[in-house]
Chain A
Amino acid sequence: MTRFVLRRLLQSGIVLLGVTLVVFLLLQLVPGDPVRVALGTRFDPETYEALRSRAGLDQPLPVQYASYVGQALTGDLGVSFRSGRPVTAIVLERLPATLSLAITAVVFALLVAFPLGVLSALRSGSVFDHAARVFSQFGVSVPDFWMGIMGILLFAGVLGWFPPSGYVALTEDPVGWASHVFLPAVTVGLVTASILTRFIRSSVLEVLAEDYVRTAEAKGLPTRVVVVRHVLRNALIPVVTVVAVQLASLLGGVIVIEVLFAWPGVGRLTYDAVQARDYPVLQGAILLVAALFLLVNLLVDLLYARLDPRIRVR
């Protein structure tokens, strides 16, 4: 078990190194000069060169990359072109907002998708099943920014139940946090819930068709016991993977929703960094997202072993 974790961590390190190289090279391909953007119309060749050299952009690419990786190993991800502040601090200070939004959204999504998906599978073909499928089709088809704006207009505008946008740290004011996180979390969570509902439904349907379920029913077990002990336990293993992937992608920041709700998370940071061609910040944000993805995947693999004794980690 310990060896497994250590090996996975080592692999993760190699993957992260690959991520830095790919991201670094990709950024060179993106049209747009960060120095030009920073100067805007007050362009002047001398000011341009001065800023370019302060940002280290006059160095050859291999030198830029080597110095980046070298410093990254010590936890120093460089400094932002725009603000001159350390990237590590910039990225980490956005993490709490994104974490709290992602986790709240996934919890909301599970609360909706679990009953919906299981019930519609158990009552496959019923009116309830059709309604659930319409809901999930709606959720995956309607753009999230549109749902977000409608939510703001209804719940913040007409009803006045929640603030339209903004952020309060959970540690500072839990009630304020809850009222601010509700609308963005529901908006994000509805999409996730739709995806999960469809997945849970089909997973449960698949298990229901298994021989051991028929056997369990044939030996006279009450439906409740069959569903809980045999169906759900087996159906939920793949669901764990999907939930984990959803969570990991939300941890990367929900760009459109964070921008819309003025939520100070990693997604909004990424958006601003792209606009300004702030490469160090962009690299830092992508690296963080990649690291979170790897971490979540590792946890899922460990969780599998707990859920299903047939799976061993070696």
Chain B
Amino acid sequence: MSSKRFRGAGVALALTFGLLAGCSAGEGVEVDGGTQAGVGGVLTAAISGEPDQLDPHQTSAYPSFQVLENVYDTLVEPDANLAMKPSLASEWDTSDDQLTWTFTLREGVTFSDGSPLTAEDVVYSYNRIIDEELNAAYRFATVESVTAPDPGTVVVQLTAPTPNLLASLGGFKGVAVVKKSNVESGAVKTEPIGSGPFAVSSYSAGDSIKLVRNDNYWGTKPKLDGVTFTFVQDPTVALQNLRSGEVQWTDNLPPQQVSALRADDDLVVRSAASSDYWYLALNQARKPYDDVNVRRAVAFALDRAAITKAAKFGLATVNQTAIPTDSAFYYDYAPYQQDLAQAKQLLAEAGVTDLTMDLMVTNEYPETVTAAQVIAAQLKEIGIAVKIRTLDFAQWLDEQGKGNFDSFMLGWLGNIDPDEFYYAQHHSAGTFNFHGYRNPAVDNLLDQARTETDQAARKQQYEQAAKQIVDDASYLYLYNPDVVQGWSSQVSGYEVRADRAIRFRDVALTR
């Protein structure tokens, strides 16, 4: 998944993040007194897909966010542990009733063209998303108004307490602060102007996007002179580019070769547990999957370790809940160990025999196709005949929207706050609840937790909701994949991030 373009809709996910960088050998460059080793140069990064456009509010494609992560800023941004930290906002206050958030902007911030970035730009950006109902509008569901009492202050007025507001305003660059004139001229689609560490200098369709260092950047000046992103869809070809020095960074490595590549002295291959998860969902609007015993029977029939091994070549962590182990919201709960006898007994209790189950997967995410074969073999053991249906993603989404499926496998990418992990998927009014899960107790918990400002109480509410979701087998969670990226040994200062954001601002290149 991650290596495919999260195109468009990237499924579940795509929305959230990233960038990658790449490098390329730059010609000599002087930067900040270029005597230090590793200063200057242009890094070329091979990413697997091409951005559809570079307007951060309009795109939903992961390749776009891979580039834009280095071009734009948000009020706050996630650190390495995905905790929200100051970015354009240096500090913020919350009123006692939790309904008014006042952000103080960092002083002296400018866009890459030198014009000042003020509170008015923040107000414009947020109102654009809200008024035009752009992709990230759902993140502003509780926002009543955004105002700028003075050029250094932004006030966000809420209709209900929103403990995850910071994640909503900073979780990814789809809520970046844009420049009004850049948007209104339409240039933002190919020549976006942000306040981030790099600025877009040229875009060659189908081939590459070049970034240059933003000398007006408010933070520590990047060491690189620039970053060039090239689009290489085939992982074998991307790896050859890395080996031959044409590129210095890629996130598109052939998964089956990753363990061998770790031993390669010329390359650095690193992985980190991601905040993504992959799951199997059964359509509860169809018989017999409305019966919890049938869903639990399937859950008990699965050997998650075998599925994970086949789908990800071991580059993933088995998990029976959604949130990965290193998150503060991780909930240790794993009631389903493969138990064929129990699975058969549950099916018998449900009165189900000779079941044929349609399983919808997409070649957009090849791991679902591979996993489906293992799932089919495992379910055969308890007498369920699985018919695998492999569709292209556009058709897959269509069928999902119409409810034309018994079951499907997919992933969610880039979630940070637990609300993003559970609400859209499992609340009976959730926008992604295409599998028809309805449990009033879960609805209640998710509604409460959404506005619960006491962190400990909130965590507990999510744990209760998660337990119920797992017991009801609303989703059959399978694994959290690793983010795997590789780069040349010339590259230093790069860190793989759990949210797949690709940041090149601290990277240096030795030649």
Verify A165–B8 contact, CB threshold 8 A: no
Enumerate chain B residues within 8 angstroms of A84, measured Cβ to Cβ.
Answer: 53, 55, 58, 186, 189
B454 proximal to A (CB < 8 A): no
A18 proximal to B (CB < 8 A): no
Q: How far is the CA of A46 from the CA of B138 in the complex (A)?
A: 10
Q: How far is the CA of A34 from the CA of B397 in the complex (A)?
A: 10
Verify B394–A44 contact, CB threshold 8 A: no
Residue from A32, A165, A268, A277 with most neighbouring chain B CB atoms (10 Å): A165
Say whether, besides A33-B394, A39-B9, A43-B432, A262 and B412 are in contact (CB < 8 Å): no
Enumerate chain B residues within 8 angstroms of A83, measured Cβ to Cβ.
Answer: 52-53, 189-190
A152 to chain B, nearest CB (A): 6
Interface range, B side: 35 or more
Verify A276–B241 contact, CB threshold 8 A: no
Q: How far is the CA of A254 from the CA of B38 in the complex (A)?
A: 40
Enumerate chain B residues within 8 angstroms of A47, measured Cβ to Cβ.
Answer: 133-135, 137-138
Interface string of B224-242 (1 = CB under 8 A from A): 0000001111101100110
Enumerate chain B residues within 8 angstroms of A44, measured Cβ to Cβ.
Answer: 137-138, 431
Verify A41–B9 contact, CB threshold 8 A: yes
B398 to chain A, nearest CB (A): 5
Q: How far is the CA of A84 from the CA of B60 in the complex (A)?
A: 13
Verify A156–B240 contact, CB threshold 8 A: yes
Pick from A3-11, A90-98, A292-300 the stretch touching chain B.
A90-98
Nearest to A169 among chain B residues (CB) is B204
Verify B237–A165 contact, CB threshold 8 A: yes
Q: How far is the CA of A38 from the CA of B236 in the complex (A)?
A: 28
B14 proximal to A (CB < 8 A): yes
Nearest to B241 among chain A residues (CB) is A164
Say whether, besides A32-B394, A82-B52, A41 and B432 are in contact (CB < 8 Å): yes
Which B238-272 residues sit within 8 Å CB-CB of chain A? Answer: 240-241, 243-244, 246
B13 proximal to A (CB < 8 A): yes
B12 proximal to A (CB < 8 A): yes
Enumerate chain A residues within 8 angstroms of B394, measured Cβ to Cβ.
Answer: 31-34, 36-37, 275-277
Q: How far is the CA of A32 from the CA of B404 in the complex (A)?
A: 13
Interface string of B187-199 (1 = CB under 8 A from A): 0011000000000
Q: How far is the CA of A261 from the CA of B233 in the complex (A)?
A: 9
Q: How far is the CA of A153 from the CA of B244 in the complex (A)?
A: 11
A66 to chain B, nearest CB (A): 25
A45 proximal to B (CB < 8 A): yes
B168 to chain A, nearest CB (A): 12
B141 to chain A, nearest CB (A): 9
B417 proximal to A (CB < 8 A): no
Q: How far is the CA of A146 from the CA of B134 in the complex (A)?
A: 42
Interface string of B14-55 (1 = CB under 8 A from A): 110000000000000000000000000000000000101101
Query: Can you identify 28 A-B contacts, CB atoms within 8 angstroms?
Result: A31-B394, A32-B392, A32-B398, A36-B394, A37-B393, A39-B60, A40-B10, A41-B9, A42-B9, A42-B136, A42-B424, A43-B431, A46-B137, A83-B190, A84-B58, A97-B206, A152-B237, A153-B236, A156-B244, A166-B241, A259-B233, A262-B233, A263-B206, A264-B205, A264-B207, A269-B205, A275-B393, A276-B7
| Chain A contact residues, CB within 8 Å of chain B | 31-34, 36-47, 50, 82-85, 90, 93-94, 97, 149, 152-153, 156-157, 160, 163-167, 259-265, 268-269, 272, 275-277
> Other than the known A40-B9, A84-B53, what 16 A-B pairs have Cβ atoms closer than 8 Å?
A32-B392, A36-B9, A36-B401, A37-B393, A39-B60, A40-B12, A42-B138, A47-B133, A50-B134, A84-B58, A84-B189, A149-B234, A164-B244, A260-B233, A262-B234, A264-B207
